[in-house]
Amino acid sequence: MSDPPSKSFSKKEVSSHNKDGDLWIIIEQEVYDVSKFQDEHPGGKKILLGVAGNDATKKFHKYHRQSILDKYKSGLVVGTLEEPQKKKSIFGFMKRS
Ligand code: HEM
């Protein structure tokens, strides 16, 4: 059993990990660091690079069974995706920069 991930990341932060050797992807609101796994991925590295830094939920489910996620999750998840801010404060315009 693994503890639930405690870190959360913004989409922007995840999107900065978008290259060979520094490769994160989002699946079902969870953030996977596949920087090392990229070379072991049976589907190849190239396809992972194609979704690097992005949400790959749909593509993941297109090619794999859910059980694959359950098996690899504990070794690859580094955190969850931050909830996007739904409403901006009406006082936002008063903020000084
Ligand atoms: C946490 C992320 C991922 C893990 C742990 C993972 C794991 C795996 C595993 C274990 C296989 C072999 C499946 C089998 O033998 O039945 C596989 C195959 C494959 N994966 Fe992934 N994968 C991940 C992400 C992705 C993503 C994001 C894509 C596409 C954008 C992808 C595309 C593929 C493809 C095309 C295959 C080959 C399918 C086939 O030969 O029929 N994978 N992956």
The pLDDT value recorded for residue 83 is 81
85 CA → ligand 1 middle, Å:
32
pLDDT single digits (tens) 11-40: 999 999 999 999 999 999 999 999 999 999
Give the three-class secondary structure for 52. Answer: coil
Probe target for ligand 1 pocket from 45, 68, 71, with the most ligand atoms within 8 Å of CB:
68
> Which residues line the pocket of ligand 1, CB cutoff 6 A?
25, 27, 32, 34, 41-43, 47-48, 50-51, 56, 59-60, 63-64, 68, 72, 76
Q: 45-63 burial, b if ≥16 CB within 10 A, otherwise e?
A: beebeebbbebbeebbeee
**Higher per-residue confidence, 14 vs 86:** 14
**In 43-91, at which residue ranges do the beta strands (DSSP E only) sit?**
77-81
Q: What is the mean pLDDT of residues 43-69?
A: 98
The CATH class that applies to domain 8-82 reads: alpha beta
Structural domain boundaries in the chain: 8-82
CA atoms within 13 A on the CB side of 8: 6
Question: pLDDT tens for residues 2-16?
Answer: 555 479 999 999 999
Give pLDDT, residue 97.
56
